[in-house]
Structure 1
């Protein structure tokens, strides 16, 4: 297992790249940002790339036949190439830009239905730990087509329960869609047996990698899935851009998601023909500046090394799990050991509502999330309406975990629990 090399991975140096991490909050408290599973903070390199684009190169892409248009188009397509290399895509044309992972997942669900790949009598299989973005699109698809939605359950530890693998994924299964890393439980799912079983019965596999791509090395060619979706803002990139990777042969045979400019080959009043991927799925003016920013984010993460980031994430998560379990009355919902686990830790505190926990932590400068984290079925599985979630990333320090623990002790004292 890779461990963090303090010579090459300097958290203090990395933090200098993130202007917001030096901010002082009300009461002159330092910001302790533990909400990176919600959205990551942005390094100066990404902020500067956005600023430079708008200051010097702003133009529409694939339309303007002037120097600015050529510069913007080149930067936009260069970002596509960077993303493709970052995730190990065999072809840059397999990278489709969307506005976020939710749109990417909706795109897949919609066009698979439109293409007749999911129809009445078929099954779509998901899991009980999914983000709503990987539940609702499949509910809409099965309602529209008459297919049946089925799902994997969870173990008491918060892991994917694969005991029913062969009975859930059958010859009726058209699609299996699941998270690589749970945004609520932190579990890293064993994708290999699921993908293997799905392909044995001829089903397609969609992976929601929104929590995986920011913190794990990713090679989509080796992974073996058919589609992978993720979002830019969780991987130190801008908001407003997501990515759908798909096998080129599949993308080439699927119909468009939206109609409009640049997704066409030709248009007459009677009919239209469509451009090859990825343009077919990128109707209208795309997120140009956001793509440039995402390219800068990919450069930033690549320079640090995803193996190093993953190792840091494991170490800081292990430290946090140990410290949190020192607190009487605190219950971690999800795996309690940093094995096959991401850096999002959801918990409850006896006698205190999660929203009150978050508010008291905020009064100490500690930013966390409270609620159902867009994962209501997973909360229902564990008999809780909501949780407080602390989540970590490449810039999180042990001292910030200590500040979280101190603030939780203050919360217990404040509420007398």
Structure 2
């Protein structure tokens, strides 16, 4: 992969921050956008801005073709069987909430179990907490091993015949742990449960095949994979989705409306009430084209090499603790002894290095790590070893800045 050429596609990277070349290491929060994605969105607004599915005029037809064409690109990208299984949402959060509110409320009752892990993003915890509270179900957690990974024996012990839903993130946004979701799905299905996967940190960085994983539902966001903000995807098996009720009602998702009753459109449109995120979907389609041109396997290998390179250097800095397993995605979460992560991130920012600091929407995991917060450097296809070197150099400068407080 020619990283120099890839970087040239991202106009935002060609700038200085606080007098230093920008080193952007926060792609787990949101990725930057290549010029062809920016151009695709601009082209929609400049040339064929219109609503979809409604008008028979030329602009409406072009907009509909662009919107539904993006759906087909998503289908192929994750290897879903049918476009009917691809629902556009505002993002991963909305997608998971849709499953909890629609499938969950119809199929979970008092005495049932919902199983998740302590490493989940809040978006994959709170919907299940609320579902458990409203139905009387029990929320259970698969324990984590010391390195932040999951043991399938623990999954076997936690998931029972009373379990109705198992929901696990594919890749941890904090630890970089790559979870064995295919094997977890097998255990879930053996016990009669459905498998929900939070793929927000996986789809942008590795090839995902929902049929091979046998996930019943799979959710991800566009803005973490070079697409615009405000667009996401819920994949769901057709046999499940066709029996689910919509959670938002209004225009676009209806078939017939009477004074006292209404019927819904077929899949996937019954879940897309109101004017959809047209420009976002078109931008997502352009992002998929961009990522497929480079190759997801190339991206995965590149990020893992950068993570390994970074960890090797961080281990040589006294007072730095790195969290997570040895085998991981391109995420390096760390703390500096006696220095709050926000202070670390502030000094790094003064050197032009953008990292994340805080609890990363994973407070239960912070408690499990016995910390209040961490700093995180996350890599993507446009990062290189020079970015890592600048990050490490800035971190050493941070240590010097705090002096004996840092230790």
Residue aligning to 1:313: 303
Question: Which whole-Å CA distance do the structure 1 matches of 2:248 and 2:72 have between them?
Answer: 23
* Cα distance in 2, alignment partners of residues 303 and 372 from structure 1: 34
2:280 is matched with 290
* Structure 1 position 65, deviation (Å): 1.9
Give unmatched runs, 5+ long, in structure 2. Answer: none
What is the deviation of 1:351?
1.4
1:144 and 2:131 are equivalent in the alignment: no
Aligned partners of 1:26, 1:171: CA distance in 2, in Å? Answer: 57
2:27–2:224 Cα contact (<8 Å) kept:
yes
- Name the CA distance, whole Å, in 1 between partners of 2:182 and 2:49: 43
* 4+ runs deviating over 3 angstroms: none
Shift of 1:85: 0.4
Describe the superposition over 1:148-198 as per-residue Cα deviations: whole angstroms up to 9, x where unpaired.
100112111111243322221111000000000000111000112211111
User: Does residue 125 of structure 2 align to residue 135 of structure 1?
Assistant: yes
1:220-299 aligned at under 5 Å gives the runs 220-299=210-289
Cα displacement (A) at 1:323: 1.3
The answer to whether 1:125 aligns with 2:115 is: yes
Partners of 1:121 and 1:269 in 2: CA distance: 38
Match of 2:362 in 1: 375
Give the Å deviation of 1:111: 0.3
Q: Is the 8 A contact 1:126 1:152 kept in 2?
A: yes
Q: Secondary structure at 2:164's aligned position in 1?
A: strand
Rounded to whole Å, the distance in 1 between the matches of 2:90 and 2:266 is 20
1:192 aligns with 2:176: no
Q: How do 1:7-46 and structure 2 match up within 5 A?
A: 9-27=1-19, 29-46=20-37
Could you tell me whether the CA contact under 8 Å between 2:52 and 2:64 is conserved in 1? yes
1:76 aligned residue: 67
Cα distance between partner residues in 2 of 1:193 and 1:68: 46
2:52 match: 61
Deviation at 1:344, TM superposition (A): 1.3
Q: 1:321 Cα shift?
A: 1.3
Could you tell me which runs of 5 or more consecutive residues in structure 1 were left unpaired when the two chains were aligned.
Answer: 1-8
Q: 1:362 aligns with which of 349, 355, 359?
A: 349
Deviations 1:269-297, CA, capped at 9 Å, x for gaps: 11111111110100000000000000000
Picking from 86, 89, 95, the partner of 2:86 is 95
Q: Deviations over 1:36-56 (max 9, x none)?
A: 000000000000000000000
CA RMSD of aligned residues (A): 0.9
Corresponding pairs, count: 404
Aligned-partner Cα distance in 2 for 1:98–1:199: 26
Q: Which residue of 1 aligns with 2:173?
A: 183
Is 1:52 the counterpart of 2:52? The answer is: no
Aligned equivalent of 1:3: none
Partner of 1:5: none
Would the aligned equivalents of 2:128 and 2:139 in 1 still touch at CA under 8 Å?
yes
Instruction: Find 2:150's aligned residue among 156, 160, 163.
Output: 160
Separation in structure 2 between the aligned mates of residue 163 and residue 347 of structure 1, nearest angstrom: 29
* CA distance in structure 1 between the partners assigned to 2:293 and 2:156 by the alignment: 42
3-state SS of paired residue (2:242): helix
Partners of 1:162 and 1:139 in 2: CA distance: 23
Mapped to 2, the partners of 1:113 and 1:191 lie a distance apart of 20
Partner SS for 1:113: helix
Please say if residues 114 and 255 of structure 1, whose CA atoms lie closer than 8 Å, have aligned partners that are also in contact: no
Q: Measure the CA separation in 1 of the matches of 2:141 and 2:284.
A: 33
Distance 1:62 1:271 in 2: 23
Which residue of structure 2 lines up, in the alignment, with residue 108 of structure 1? 99
SS in structure 2 at match of 1:215: coil
- Identify which range, 283-292 or 263-272, moves more after superposition: 263-272
